[in-house]
Amino acid sequence: MADFVALFLTDLVLGLLLGCVLAVIAHGLNIIWGVAKVVNVAHGEFIMLGAYGAYFLYLYGGFNPLLSVPIDAAIGLVVGMGFYFGFLYRELRGKESMGLQSELVTLVSTFGLSLVIVNIAQSIWEHPVGILWSPGAAQVGPVPVPFGGLYVAVVSVALIALTDLFLTRTYLGNAIRAYTQDIPATQLMGINPTVVAAVGIGMGFSVTMAGGALLTVWLPTGIDPTKIGILYAPISFVIVVLGGPGKMWGSLVGGLTIGLIINVGQLFLGGSIALATAVAVLTLIPILLFRPEGILR
Amino acid sequence: MRRLSLRTLGPTLLGILAFLGVLAAIAGRMPLVLLTLVINLLIFAALAYSINFITGLTGYVSFGHVLFMAVGGYGLAYGVGTLHWHPVAGVALGALVSLALALGIGAVTLRFRGVYFAIASQVTALAGFYIVLEIQELGGGQGIVLNVGFEPIAWFYTIWVILAIEVGITYWITHGRLGYGIRSIRADEDAAKTVGVHAAALKLVLFAISGLFAGAAGGVYYWQGSGIFPNEAFSLTFSLIMLAMIVIGGMGTLLGPLFGAVAVYLSSQYFLTVLIGFEFVIIGVLVVVIALFLPEGIVGTLRKYVPELRGLIE
Nearest to B115 among A39, A231, A285 (CB): A39
- B114 lies within 8 A of chain A by CB: yes
Give the SS3 label for residue A128. Answer: coil
State yes or no: pLDDT of A62 exceeds 90.
Answer: no
Residue pLDDT, tens place only, A124-166: 887 888 787 777 788 887 888 888 889 999 999 999 999 999 9
Ranges under pLDDT 50 in chain B = 1-7
Interchain pair B120, A104: CB under 8 A: no
- Chain centroid to CA B313: 20
Q: Confidence band (pLDDT; 50, 70, 90) for A210? A: very high
Domain boundaries, chain B: 9-309
B130: nearest CB among A105, A120, A274: A274
Which of these, B173, B241, B134, lies nearest to A271 by C-alpha position? B134
Minimal-distance CA residue of chain A relative to B112: A288
State how far the Cα of A5 lies from the Cα of A17, in Å rounded to an integer: 18
What does the domain layout of chain A look like in residue ranges? 16-126+138-224
Asked if ipTM goes beyond 0.90, one says: no
pLDDT at A178 over 80: yes
Give B238 to chain A, closest Cα distance, Å.
11
Collapse the DSSP code of A140 into the 3-class scheme (helix H, G, I; strand E, B; otherwise coil) and give the result: strand
Q: Is the pLDDT of residue A1 over 80?
A: no
How distant, in Å, are the alpha carbons of A117, A124, A225, B33, B244 from that of B271? 17, 17, 21, 17, 16
Bin B53: left if φ > 0, else alpha if -120 < ψ < 50, else beta: alpha
DSSP structural state of residue A216: G
What's the pLDDT at B207?
Answer: 95
What whole-number distance in Å separates Cα of residue B314 and Cα of residue A129?
49
The pLDDT assigned to B1 comes to 40
Whether residues B291 and A105 touch (CB distance < 8 A) is answered with yes
SS3 track for B156-207: HHHHHHHHHHHHHHHHHHHHCHHHHHHHHHHHCHHHHHHCCCCHHHHHHHHH
- Best mutation target among A45, A91, A119, A283 (most B Cβ atoms within 10 Å) is A119
Contacts of A103 in chain B (CB under 8 A): 114-115
A178 alpha-carbon distance from chain centroid: 23
Q: Is residue B227 classed as helix, strand or coil in its secondary structure?
A: strand
Q: Which residue has the higher pLDDT, A99 or B75?
A: B75
pTM of the model: 0.90
pLDDT at A24 over 90: yes
Mean pLDDT computed over every residue of chain A? 87
* CA-to-CA dists, residue B274 to A207, B36, B241, angstroms: 36, 20, 19
A138 phi/psi in degrees, rounded to 5 = -110, 145
Mean pLDDT, residues A176-200: 87
Query: Residue A29 pLDDT more than 50?
Result: yes
Output the pLDDT for position A17.
92
Contacts of B275 in chain A (CB under 8 A): 123
Distance CA B139, CA B137 (A): 6
Could you tell me the CA-to-CA distances from A266 to A26, A270, A277, A283 in Å, in that order? 22, 6, 8, 15
Q: Which residues of A touch B295 (CB under 8 A)?
A: 101, 104-105
Q: Does residue B113 sit at the A interface (CB-CB below 8 Å)?
A: yes
Tens of pLDDT along A230-265? Answer: 889 999 999 999 988 888 888 999 999 999 999 998
pLDDT at position A97: 64
CA atoms lying within 13 Å on the CB side of residue A65? 31
CB atoms A113 and B284 under 8 Å: yes
Residue of B nearest to A89 (CA): B292
For A37-49, the DSSP string reads SS--TTHHHHHHH
More confident residue, A220 or B126: B126
Given an 8 Å threshold on Cβ–Cβ distance, is B288 in contact with A103?
A: no
Contact residues, chain A, for B283 at CB < 8 Å: 112, 115
Q: Cβ of B54 under 8 Å from any chain A Cβ?
A: no
Q: What is the mean pLDDT of residues A26-32?
A: 92
The fraction of chain A above a pLDDT of 90, given in percent, is 41
**What CATH number was assigned to the domain covering residues B9-309?**
1.10.3470
Amino acid at B128: G
The pLDDT value recorded for residue B2 is: 46
Cβ pairs bridging A and B (under 8 Å): 132
Q: Contact, B232 vs B252, CB < 8 A?
A: no
Q: Which of B120, B133, B287 is opposite residue A108, by nearest beta carbon?
A: B287
